[in-house]
Amino acid sequence: MLTIGSVQLQTPLLLAPIAGHCDLSFRILCREQGGVGLASTDLLNSRAILKSAPRTLELAATNEFDNPCGMQLYGNSEDPLPEAACWAVDHGAKLIDINMGCPVDKVAKKHGGSLLLRDCISTMKLTERIVDAVRAHSGGRVPVTAKMRLGWDAQHFVAPQLARDLESIGVEAITVHGRWTVQFFSGKADWDRIGEVVRAVNRIPVIGNGDVTEPEHVTALMRHTGCAGVMIGRGALRTPWIFRRAEALLTTGTASGEPTLLEKCRVIARHIELLQTYAPCERLAQHAMRGRIAWYGKTMGPIKPLKEAIRTANSLSAMAEAADDWIYRLESGDIATPEDSETNSRGIFRTA
């Protein structure tokens, strides 16, 4: 378990607030697979929240199946972040996270994200205002956390000192992505530097993030850095079951098995079903699933017919039919699994 302020998580495994991907449907999907201690919304613009911008309200949507839910806010000292944080408390957030790590230009060059790493004094003042507002509004029930990168570049390794200072004003946990802002997602995450942040704080948990795509990476990162938890981002896009497998590794010493092809097809079908239930826009949901099937396909072997069927489908219903057809054919033996010795040269259909 992992405790952040007054919030106790059932596992030390967190789903990252992945911009453009971490909608309610996907968060619920990952939770249903098992092992998720906390899942967070996509990053939310503080001004857009208070203006009730429809798209931002969609990103902030949560429900009883998405618990505990963190809401991640971004902005700078000129933005109404304390007020937006109080709004989030009122709308289901069990934890408020301040984005200090997004490297994307539209965020980091004007509105916040990694921009906050370039002026740590102003960032401290802003964060203290947020902490005070949330503490008063929630009666201390909702903790404030921060997600950061190591610094803007290798000449400005600010994360250890900033983490220590944030702890002193009441921030209850720090997540560190082991890259510089200028790296975006290139190169290799520096786990050594994450370890320096762990050693810089006194009592609050530090959560490691970066280059975690297999269950074994979770235990390796925790051993290497001493971090109290691990946040998984892009690795979850292709394997939303990674949390379940990693939790088994942490608790028993052995990762649970990789899902079969049939089980993975059922996950895809469930993802489509959740989009049908929760996605506010059919067109955007179709677009999301077309992108996601490419991620899923990275773990499924030669499934080009399924990928093409979903990519060319003109509705979520048609996508669901394509997934259900594959499930039926796998169950009836019409499609060979990767473990099937009778697989033909194309690696898909059973030989006659």
Beta bridge partners of 39: 15, 69
Q: Is 172 left (phi over 0), alpha (psi -120 to 50) or beta?
A: alpha
Write down the catalytic residue from 102, 120, 227, 265. Answer: 102
Identity of the residue numbered 35: G
Enter the tokens of residue 280. Answer: 């506010």
Residue 23 · residue 279 · CB < 8 Å? yes
User: How many CB atoms within 10 Å of residue 140?
Assistant: 12
Which tokens is 156 given?
């400005």
Tokens of 221: 């990162």
Is position 102 annotated as part of the catalytic site? yes
Using only C-alpha atoms, the chain has a radius of gyration, in whole angstroms, of: 21
DSSP H helix total and E strand total for the chain: 15, 11
| Nearest Cα to Cα of residue 238 among 333, 327, 303, 320 | 303
Residues 334 and 27: their CA atoms lie apart, in Å, by 32
The C-alpha atoms of residue 17 and residue 42 are separated, in whole angstroms, by 5
- What is the number of residues in the chain? 352
> Directed axis angle between helix 316-332 and helix 282-297, to 10°?
30
Alpha-carbon separation of residue 308 from 194, 291, 299, 321 (angstroms): 41, 12, 16, 13
Structure tokens at 14: 């967190």
- CA dist 272 and 134 (Å) reads 36
Beta bridge partners of 9: 2
Give me the residues paired with residue 99 across strands: 147
Q: Which positions are annotated as active-site residues?
A: 102
